[in-house]
Amino acid sequence: MNSYKIAVIPGDGTGLEVVTEGIKVLDACQEKFGFKLDYTWYDYGGERYMRTGEVLPEGAVDDLRQYKAIFLGAIGHPKVAPGILEKGILLNLRFALDQYINLRPIVLYPGVDTPLKDKKPEDIDFVVIRENTEGLYAGAGGVLKKGTPDEVAVQESINTRKGVERCIRFAFEYARRRNKRKKVTLCGKTNVLTYAFNLWERAFYEVAKEYPDIQTNYAHVDATCMWMVKNPEWFDVIVTDNMFGDIITDLGAMIQGGMGIAAGGNINPEGVSMFEPIGGSAPKYTGMNVINPLAAICSAGMMLDYLGERQAAAKIEDSVKIAVSKNLKSLSAGKMGYSTTEVGDLVAGYVKA
Ligand code: IPM
Ligand code: MN
């Protein structure tokens, strides 16, 4: 029997509630599909930081390398200044484990409301491949004369040929494997960011030559936002940098029905990957049993897919589809017609059925 060691980091806010439902569904899969998940829980997050003063303890990253994958809830605590936990935990893990791809599927499931008038599930089915270790997130820059009228703040975008190329290559491979519209769109800003996106553009068209079966296409990031609303059916795989990917995937989450269903994976194809719902820690809903756990459940499904448990992953997706089309009234917190735990029960039930 295949067995996988999984690190579980519920993190902050509603993270614990959604991760618990994700595990409920994973456990239903273990039984049905005959594999074993061996969980180790970690308390990294805001509460631990306030208690101990450290975001991640000494050796934490190396310790996490022993796992097959990491299942993460959410990072961000209202009592901790913005940036400390996000940089100290989430970005730190993405960088240190070299999870250079942030994979975010934008899929409208049947029965789910989209704010896009007249758009149907067949129109909204693409993935965003966000570069996940460089760009504006790299932390390059600094501040001078802070707090004075002469203050200068510089935040630079780092783009390496190696980092850009491996991300672009992943996107082409993904489009080929996905085998749908077979099209990769580079989302950038070549008209203004003439250094960074010139590098992206050259790498993109060079890599594209290795994939004659895949169509290529370019859109500026602002236009990408426009097309995502007006003609989402044009997209299959979008590849972009870290910052643009962050922004367009929140827009993507909205057109697929909201943060409640938006899943993601921080992927290192050669190392340890980390799966997380893309919404935040939602402090105002914490502990109320009202948050939608489907994004975490779908992320758990992506994790199984990456572990090679394809059948189980597909079963989770099918089960979520049934739950959203037959049961849930809405995907928004408090409006689902079910509590958080009941949604987990529903999906786990469909998995077992
Ligand atoms: C995301 C989040 C993070 C990001 C934050 C919490 C640092 O918004 O995963 O999209 O910007 O990457
Ligand atoms: Mn984001």
Query: Dihedral sign, CA of 189, 194, 199, 204?
Result: positive
Domain with 127 in it? 114-256
Q: Kindly state whether residue 107 falls inside one of the protein's structural domains.
A: no
Residue type, 348: A
pLDDT bin (cut points 50, 70, 90) of residue 285 is very high
User: Mutation test of ligand 1: which of 9, 91, 137 has the most ligand atoms closer than 8 Å to its C-beta?
Assistant: 91
Residue 155 half-sphere exposure toward CB, CA atoms < 13 A: 7
pLDDT tens-digit readout, 148-197: 999 999 999 999 999 999 999 999 999 999 999 999 999 999 999 999 99
Q: Kindly state whether residue 109 falls inside one of the protein's structural domains.
A: no
β-pair partners for 40: 7
Rounded to 10 deg, the angle between the 15-33 and 340-352 helix axes is: 10
Q: Are residues 80 and 199 in the same domain?
A: no
C-alpha span between 106 and 129 (Å, rounded): 11
C-alpha span between 254 and 258 (Å, rounded): 4
pLDDT tens-digit readout, 23-56: 999 999 999 999 999 999 999 999 999 999 999 9
Q: Kindly state whether residue 106 falls inside one of the protein's structural domains.
A: no
* Nearest ligand to the C-alpha atom of residue 131: 1
Phi, psi of 285 (to 5 degrees): -105, 0
Q: Are residues 65 and 140 in the same domain?
A: no
Q: Are residues 280 and 198 in the same domain?
A: no
C-alpha span between 127 and 281 (Å, rounded): 23
Q: Are residues 319 and 309 in the same domain?
A: yes
In short, whether 131's Cβ falls inside 6 Å of ligand 1 is: no
| 290 CA → ligand 1 middle, Å | 22
Closest ligand 1 atom number to CA of residue 280? 6
Q: Are residues 122 and 249 in the same domain?
A: yes
Find out whether 278 and 297 touch, Cβ atoms under 8 Å: no
Determine the average pLDDT of the residues in 87-110.
Answer: 98
Closest ligand 1 atom number to CA of residue 90? 7
**Boundary (domain end) residue, out of 200, 234, 256:** 256
